[in-house]
Amino acid sequence: MTTGKLFILSAPSGAGKTTLLKRVMADLPGLAFSISHTTRLPRAGEVDGVDYHFVSRDKFEAMQDQGVFLEWAEVHGNLYGTSRPAVLAQLATGLDVILDIDVQGAAILRESAAIPAASLFISPPSLPELERRLRGRGTDSEETILLRLKNARQEMQAAADYEYLIINDRLEQAVDTLRAIVIAERSRGHRLPTGQSIEILSEL
């Protein structure tokens, strides 16, 4: 049985990663999203257990002590972590798992090389365009926007550490690129574009 592969996706907030991901996950079968734990409060419209597992700092720290997290990081003043047992269970079913994590978490996974992964960085076309998008979505306070812009400048410097770079200038083109990368990575693992094992060919 072929196990799935990890796809690490990082992007400055506002780069359009969530929209891109939703589009490609709707198009390509065999992809699962890893739902992180976070101490951040839910934004309007976010659902516990769907967007994130929203937990208290105490609960998060207890999970850290128990070694639950494959990686974790503090981002914009909140804690975020990826559950190791949840990801391993998804991979074991043959699904490819998408980790939407920040540049610190990606570096931890790259260094530990615990699980084979492809890493992708999604960049906005420019910082002024990123600022325009952050203001346009109208979900964050001025203070949060300024913090996110400052962090974006730093995060963009980590882009060269990733295997793939996607510039999200025009959404359709970025969707095509992300889809092509997933299919190419599957082919490297001798799998079909659907994510199924090549063994299925002999059963057709």
Residue 42 or 125 with smaller CB distance to ligand 5GP: 42
16 forms part of the interface with ligand 5GP (CB under 6 A): no
Contact 69, 63 (CB under 8 A): yes
Please report how many Cα atoms fall inside a 13 Å half-sphere around the Cα of residue 134, on the Cβ side. 24
Per-residue three-class SS string for 77-117: CEEEEEEHHHHHHHHHCCCEEEEECCHHHHHHHHHHCCCCE
82 forms part of the interface with ligand 5GP (CB under 6 A): yes
Q: How far is the CB of 52 from ligand 5GP (least distance, A)?
A: 7
The footprint of ligand 5GP on residues 21-60 (CB under 6 A) is 36, 40
Q: How far is the CB of 197 from ligand 5GP (least distance, A)?
A: 28
**How many residues are recorded in the chain?**
204
Amino acid at 39: T
Residue 136 or 204 with smaller CB distance to ligand 5GP: 136
Using DSSP's 3-state secondary structure scheme, residue 148 falls into helix
C-alpha span between 87 and 102 (Å, rounded): 17
130 forms part of the interface with ligand 5GP (CB under 6 A): no
196 forms part of the interface with ligand 5GP (CB under 6 A): no
Site string for ligand 5GP, 93-122 (x = CB under 6 A): -------xxx-xx-----------------
C-alpha span between 120 and 113 (Å, rounded): 15
Return the range that interacts with ligand 5GP (CB under 6 A); candidates 65-73, 125-133, 172-180, 185-193.
65-73
Q: How far is the CB of 9 from ligand 5GP (least distance, A)?
A: 8
How many other CB atoms are there within 10 angstroms of residue 173's CB atom?
12
Q: How far is the CB of 71 from ligand 5GP (least distance, A)?
A: 6
Contact 30, 194 (CB under 8 A): yes
Q: How far is the CB of 116 from ligand 5GP (least distance, A)?
A: 18
- Angle of CA points 142, 148, 152, to nearest 5°: 145
- Of 7, 80, 121, 164, the residue at the interface with ligand 5GP (CB under 6 A) is 80
144 forms part of the interface with ligand 5GP (CB under 6 A): no
Tokens of 130: 């990123």
Q: Which spans of this chain sit near ligand 5GP (rule: CB under 6 A)? A: 13, 36, 40, 71-73, 75-76, 80-82, 100-102, 104-105
